Amino acid sequence: MAKMEKPILTVDEAAKRRRSIRKFLNEPVPREELDEILRVTGLAPSSYNTQPWRFVVVADPEVKRKLAEAAYNQRQVLSAPAVIVLYTDMADALAAVDEIIPPGMDAEGRTRLRSLILSSYSSLNEADRETAGAGQGYIALGYLMLVAEAHGYQTSPMLGFEPDAVKKLLGLPAHVRIPALVAIGKGAEEGFPHHRHPLSRITRYV
């Protein structure tokens, strides 16, 4: 049977439609859909193209139950068919700096860019370096929620969890940061209507 083409929303449509969803249908998200959502999320920009974001997709019910415990038993962790642990690892990104240099660059350019990237971050201590990585991770978080919505899936971002417990559960190194857990699936509720500042409260033109 031919696969049905599903609509992909525009960025504007996805931003207007997205809400935090805390109750999901009991339907798994197919692996190829998750791969595509994460591939497009990875198009997010980052400083020097460091791309320090990493994803652990938790769908195993037992691991998800333990993840829920580490997230104050928030109902969306148990309800969603999958929860994406979005973490950032600047140490890993910088240790493999050659991976992030454009392939077409000549040897001299590569050497220059490699030392520029490494020297930019070597002035920071490990904590500040990882904090800078987490900042990039939030760009990926924004992309992830919009891309998922555009592909017909709903999400719920969460900061309400114990990072050390999540790291222990998933065997992540102590230095990494976890910008958010993101529950993902087909929503079973509408979510709350957007309640946002008027533009005049948050913007000025000079």
Ligand X SMILES: Cc1cc2nc3c(=O)[nH]c(=O)nc-3n(C[C@H](O)[C@H](O)[C@H](O)COP(=O)(O)O)c2cc1C
Between strands 53-58 and 82-88, the pairing is antiparallel
Q: What is the layout of strands, in order, in the sheet containing 82-88?
A: 53-58, 82-88, 177-185, 154-158
Q: Is there a contact between 19 and 183 (Cβ–Cβ < 8 Å)?
A: no
**Residues 52, 133, 137, 157: which binds ligand X (CB under 6 A)?**
157
Closest separation between CB of residue 162 and ligand X, Å? 11
Which range of residues in 7-15, 101-109, 125-133, 152-160 is near ligand X by CB under 6 A? 152-160
Q: What is the Cα 41 distance to its own chain's centre?
A: 7
Classified as helix, coil or strand, 144 is helix
Closest separation between CB of residue 178 and ligand X, Å? 10
Which range of residues in 15-23, 52-60, 79-87, 129-137 is near ligand X by CB under 6 A? 15-23
- Spatial separation of the C-alpha atoms in residues 175 and 51, rounded to whole Å: 16
Contact between 191 and ligand X per CB under 6 A: yes
Look up tokens 């992540």; give the residue. 172
Name which of residues 59 to 88 contact ligand X (CB under 6 A): 74
**Residues 159, 164, 168, 189: which binds ligand X (CB under 6 A)?**
159
Which range of residues in 8-16, 34-42, 48-56, 188-196 is near ligand X by CB under 6 A? 188-196
Q: How many residues bind to ligand X according to rule CB under 6 A?
A: 12
- Spatial separation of the C-alpha atoms in residues 73 and 181, rounded to whole Å: 13
- Spatial separation of the C-alpha atoms in residues 160 and 46, rounded to whole Å: 25
Q: Which of 17/114 has CB closer to ligand X?
A: 17
Which residues would be at the binding site for ligand X (CB under 6 A)? 19-20, 22, 74, 157-160, 180, 191-192, 194
